[in-house]
Amino acid sequence: MFEERLEALSQMMAEHMAMPFPPGFRGLDIEGQSMVLLDADAYGYASSALKGPLDEQRRAGLLRLTAVLDTVLPAIDDEYATTYYTRVRDMVVLAAEIEALRGK
């Protein structure tokens, strides 16, 4: 089960990298969040989760990102960007699930 989740996260990250960044979202802040930095942070944390256990600070970062995405998503008024950032949120949630499984 753990290995399947790692593989799913790897696949999700590859699919994410293949998606173009939403037009008009570079330099855009929503709910006080830079959309470029939010995307980059999410990918970085997910990438770290693939490589091995995260330290306490990074585990907390995954939880923070999930909360931020939960705040930002309803404020996005673009269908493609909503799809894009929903996938970003799914990636972060899966990375957090992997970390929780590591702790068991």
Tens-place pLDDT, residues 2-56: 999 999 999 999 999 999 999 999 999 999 999 999 999 999 999 999 998 999 9
Could you tell me if 45 and 92 are in contact, meaning their C-beta atoms sit under 8 angstroms apart?
Answer: yes
Return the SS3 of 73: helix
> Could you report the per-residue pLDDT of 56-83, keeping only the tens digit for each?
999 999 999 999 999 999 999 999 999 9
pTM of the predicted protein model: 0.93
Phi-psi region of 30 (alpha: psi -120 to 50; beta: other; left: phi over 0): beta
